[in-house]
């Protein structure tokens, strides 16, 4: 299985004169001060020294490193080994840096790519910081993936969030990225000021229509020392409840998933934050657990209905009200990546199914022939 290690290089708020209401880059990246190209080199070396045993273990030796992303972990990086190593410039708006500074960082990454020590170069930026001059330069440094912080396709939401660009900038950026042949990604946020369930789904649909290679879904987190925090204190902004946030994200997730888009991340990592009281550390599992529940309920409804119709067909003359109903066993299957989602965060799905279907004895098992996010139920009668 192809696995993927990411070497993240955070460039906090560099190149960005904007003040999006939710943003506190220094806090999110838990760092202060400028990162130089030489720092980038040191970061790459440090990560490669961690990953080197992984590469050397192409014979299948056990291995794992913090740089292996969530999908790689789920895919069993230990067993299969890392196949692709990517340097990613995250943080501010990379292409908002002066061209010479972009080039200085990219030259370091290219050096490692030319030497075959990394495979890909990835960066994130704003949609309105994409033009031909910038893309010519990225192409010269063999950048592979450009990720756009789109956040929403709703112009009212973008305005209320202080983004400083509208949705037209996104379409223009994507058209140029496609023309140049760059792989691109789209980040969306859930619960920004002015956001609604409808605008979230619309953003997901627009994203699906543009066909990015990857997407990330970030529920809005209210960080201290941001405009959003002040807005909340003044009663001008009310964060979503966790349930609302999960429900909106789930609706977006389904749109993107149905379009075959790789949803690289759902929710922030704990290491992304210093604080933020609307943050949940297992947000992805909440969303995928909710999807699992939604898909499993019809399977169990069907199993329950078959139990009830079997009970009705028992000859009334041979059954009394006090006769215990024989319990039917239903085994639910998912592939092993989705097993914990099937059970749910803190076994919430398991408890929910047990309460809702007392006539069924429910068991859980793995079946790796199933695609991720899909389930089956096998009924065993006593
Ligand atoms: S564009 Fe990005 S870095 Fe700049 S303020 Fe907005 S979120 Fe922060």
Q: Check if 24 has its Cβ closer than 6 Å to any atom of ligand 1.
A: no
- In the chain, beta strands by DSSP E: 4-11, 84-91, 120-125, 145-151, 183-190, 214-219, 262-266, 328-334, 360-366, 376-380
Q: What is the pLDDT of residues 61-75, one digit of tens each?
A: 333 333 334 333 333
Q: What is the pLDDT of residues 176-195, one digit of tens each?
A: 999 999 999 999 999 999 99
Distance 157 CA to ligand 1 centre (A): 15
- Give, for ligand 1, the residue of 11, 18, 22, 147 to mutate: max count of ligand atoms closer than 8 Å to Cβ: 18
Tell me how far apart the alpha carbons of residues 330 and 296 are, in angstroms, rounded to a whole number: 11
Distance 18 CA to ligand 1 centre (A): 6
DSSP 259-315: TT-EEEEES--GGG-S--TT--TTHHHHHHHHHHHHHHHHHHHHHHHHHHHHHHTS-
Domain limits of the chain?
4-281, 296-380
The contacts of residue 36 (CB under 8 Å, 6+ apart) are none
Q: Check if 149 has its Cβ closer than 6 Å to any atom of ligand 1.
A: yes
Is the model more confident about 268 or about 124? 124
Averaged pLDDT for residues 223-252 = 94
Averaged pLDDT for residues 214-236 = 93
DSSP-derived letter for residue 68 is B
Q: Check if 134 has its Cβ closer than 6 Å to any atom of ligand 1.
A: no
Res. 293: pLDDT tops 80: yes
Q: Check if 13 has its Cβ closer than 6 Å to any atom of ligand 1.
A: yes
Distance 254 CA to ligand 1 centre (A): 27
Tell me how far apart the alpha carbons of residues 126 and 10 are, in angstroms, rounded to a whole number: 15
Going by alpha carbons, the residue nearest to atom 8 of ligand 1 is 23
Distance 296 CA to ligand 1 centre (A): 40
Res. 82: pLDDT tops 80: no
Q: Which of 58-67, 343-352, 363-372 has the lowest mean pLDDT?
A: 58-67
Distance 323 CA to ligand 1 centre (A): 67
Tell me how far apart the alpha carbons of residues 110 and 39 are, in angstroms, rounded to a whole number: 15
Distance 371 CA to ligand 1 centre (A): 37
pLDDT for 272 equals 59
The CA distances from residue 274 to 235, 268, 334, 345, in Å, are 24, 11, 35, 23
Q: Which residues of 318-330 are buried (b: 16+ CB within 10 A; e: fewer)?
A: eeeeeeeeeebeb
Residues linked to residue 355 through DSSP beta bridges, in sequence order:
none
Averaged pLDDT for residues 85-97 = 90
Mean pLDDT of the chain: 86
- Give, for ligand 1, the residue of 12, 13, 150 to mutate: max count of ligand atoms closer than 8 Å to Cβ: 13
Choose the CATH number for 4-281 among 3.20.20.70, 1.10.287.130, 3.40.50.300, 3.30.70.360.
3.20.20.70
Q: Check if 19 has its Cβ closer than 6 Å to any atom of ligand 1.
A: yes
Q: Check if 26 has its Cβ closer than 6 Å to any atom of ligand 1.
A: no
Q: For residue 365, give the nearest of 345, 339, 344 by alpha carbon.
A: 339
Distance 160 CA to ligand 1 centre (A): 14
Distance 13 CA to ligand 1 centre (A): 7
């Amino acid at each position: 299985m192809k696995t993927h290690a990411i070497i993240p290089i955070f460039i906090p708020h560099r190149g960005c004169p904007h003040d999006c209401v939710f943003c506190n880059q220094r806090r999110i990246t838990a760092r202060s001060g400028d990162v130089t190209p030489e720092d980038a080199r040191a970061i790459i070396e440090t990560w490669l020294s961690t990953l080197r045993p992984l590469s050397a273990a192409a014979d299948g030796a056990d291995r794992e490193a913090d740089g292996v992303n969530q999908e790689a972990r789920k895919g069993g990086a230990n067993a299969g080994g890392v196949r692709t190593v990517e340097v990613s410039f995250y943080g501010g708006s990379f292409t908002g840096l002066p061209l010479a500074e972009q080039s200085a960082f990219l030259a370091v990454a290219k050096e490692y790519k030319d030497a075959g020590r990394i495979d890909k170069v990835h960066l994130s930026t704003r949609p309105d910081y994409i033009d031909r001059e910038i893309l010519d330069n990225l192409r010269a440094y063999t950048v592979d993936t450009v990720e756009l912080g789109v956040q929403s396709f709703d112009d009212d939401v973008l305005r209320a969030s202080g983004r400083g660009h509208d949705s037209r900038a996104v379409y223009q950026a994507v058209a140029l990225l496609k023309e140049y042949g760059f792989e691109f990604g789209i980040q969306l946020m859930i619960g920004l000021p002015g956001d609604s369930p409808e605008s979230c789904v619309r953003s997901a649909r627009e994203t699906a229509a543009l066909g990015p290679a990857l997407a990330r879904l970030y529920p809005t987190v209210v960080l201290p020392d941001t405009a959003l925090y002040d807005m909340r204190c003044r009663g001008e902004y009310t964060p979503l409840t966790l349930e609302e946030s999960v429900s909106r994200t789930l609706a977006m997730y389904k749109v993107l998933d149905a379009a075959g888009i790789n949803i690289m991340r759902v929710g922030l990592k704990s290491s992304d934050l210093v604080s933020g009281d609307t943050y949940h550390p297992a947000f992805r599992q909440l969303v995928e657990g909710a999807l699992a529940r939604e898909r499993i309920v019809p399977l169990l409804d069907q199993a329950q209905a078959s139990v009830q119709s079997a009970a009705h067909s028992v000859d009334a003359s041979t059954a009394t009200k006090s006769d215990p109903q024989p319990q039917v066993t239903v085994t639910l299957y998912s592939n092993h990546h989705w097993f914990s989602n099937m059970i749910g965060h803190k076994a919430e799905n398991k408890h929910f199914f047990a309460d809702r279907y007392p006539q069924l004895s429910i068991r859980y098992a793995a079946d790796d022939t199933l695609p991720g996010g899909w389930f089956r139920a096998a009924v065993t009668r006593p």
